[in-house]
């Protein structure tokens, strides 16, 4: 069961935004079908991260409608937000790991929260760490890892819950080409089993490796 996405005439202005500055999103409309793999492209400041924050109900649109599986996520009650998030695999740009927990704990925590029995959770957490090439580091503290390794832990944490919708905001930004390829393969594998994947990137080389539809943003508008 994958998830569809629909942005209908969505605008977003941040309260702290500079007066007179352009909106982060400006009447943006696009649809992503259930099970589709889509790139979200555009220069820094184009509004890519804002799209993810709206999808995860971290922010609400100023105008317009954001639907995930026909559900208006801009209108969710606070109590309903955790249920939405449980369906999502989220790799955000400003995401932090818990530095007082091990790598393993960071990845298995979403499963514990979802009530997965500890033995299953441990198995799945190790499988997710294996997929991002970090099985050997499960007992490490994230602080001892490089930026790229921390990024891969975030990705393992995002996929461990078997999300129906995988949202990744520049997930390969801190990775060398080899690991960017590993991560792309991981997302492809999720796509292959029907998961909807939205990947923000401005890495043309990455897109060339796995061609898919791109939605291009410029100054908050959909330009392609």
Ligand X SMILES: Nc1ncnc2c1ncn2[C@@H]1O[C@H](COP(=O)(O)OP(=O)(O)O)[C@@H](O)[C@H]1O
Minimum separation from the CB atom of position 56 to Mg ion (A): 13
- Residue 186, contacted partner among Mg ion, ligand X, none, CB below 5-8 A by kind: none
For Mg ion, how many residues bind (rule: CB under 5 A)?
2
SS3 string of the chain?
CCCCEEEEEEEECCCCCCCCCCCCEEEEEEEECCCCEEEEECCCCCCHHHHHHHHCCCCCCCEEEEEECCEEHHHCCHHHHHHHHHHEEEECCCCCCCCCCCHHHHHHHHHHHCCCCHHHHHHHHHHHHHHCCCHHHCCCCHHHCCHHHHHHHHHHHHHCCCCCEEEEECCCCCCCHHHHHHHHHHHHHHHHCCCEEEEECCCHHHHHHCCCEEEEEECCEECC
Q: Which residue is nearest to Mg ion (CB)?
A: 49
Nearest CB to ligand X, comparing residues 2 and 10: 10
Q: Pick one of 41, 49, 150, 172: the residue that binds Mg ion (CB under 5 A).
A: 49
Binding mask 31-60 for ligand X (x = CB under 6 A): -----------x-xxxxxxx----------
- Residue 42, contacted partner among Mg ion, ligand X, none, CB below 5-8 A by kind: ligand X
- Residue 211, contacted partner among Mg ion, ligand X, none, CB below 5-8 A by kind: none
Is 41 a residue that touches Mg ion (CB under 5 A)? no
Is 16 a residue that touches ligand X (CB under 6 A)? yes
Minimum separation from the CB atom of position 47 to ligand X (A): 4
Is 20 a residue that touches ligand X (CB under 6 A)? no
Nearest CB to ligand X, comparing residues 45 and 133: 45
């Amino acid at each position: 069961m994958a998830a569809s996405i629909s942005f209908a005439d969505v605008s977003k202005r941040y309260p702290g935004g500079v007066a007179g500055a352009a909106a982060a999103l400006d009447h943006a409309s696009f649809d992503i079908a259930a099970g589709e793999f889509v790139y979200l492209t555009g220069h820094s400041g184009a509004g890519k991260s804002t799209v993810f924050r709206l999808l995860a109900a971290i922010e609400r649109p100023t105008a317009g409608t954001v639907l995930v599986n026909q559900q208006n996520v801009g209108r969710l009650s606070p109590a309903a937000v955790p249920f939405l998030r449980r369906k999502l695999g989220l790799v955000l740009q400003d995401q932090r790991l818990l530095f007082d927990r091990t790598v393993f704990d960071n990845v298995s925590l979403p499963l514990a929260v979802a009530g997965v029995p500890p033995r299953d959770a441990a198995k799945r957490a190790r499988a997710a760490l294996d997929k991002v090439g970090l099985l050997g580091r499960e007992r490490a503290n994230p602080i001892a890892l490089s930026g790229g390794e921390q990024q891969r832990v975030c990705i393992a944490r995002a996929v461990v819950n078997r999300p129906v919708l995988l949202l990744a905001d520049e997930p390969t930004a801190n990775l060398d080409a080899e690991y960017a390829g590993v991560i792309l393969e991981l997302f492809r594998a999720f796509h292959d089993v029907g998961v909807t994947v939205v990947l923000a990137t401005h890495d043309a080389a990455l897109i060339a490796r796995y061609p898919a539809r791109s939605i291009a943003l410029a100054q908050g508008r959909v330009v392609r």
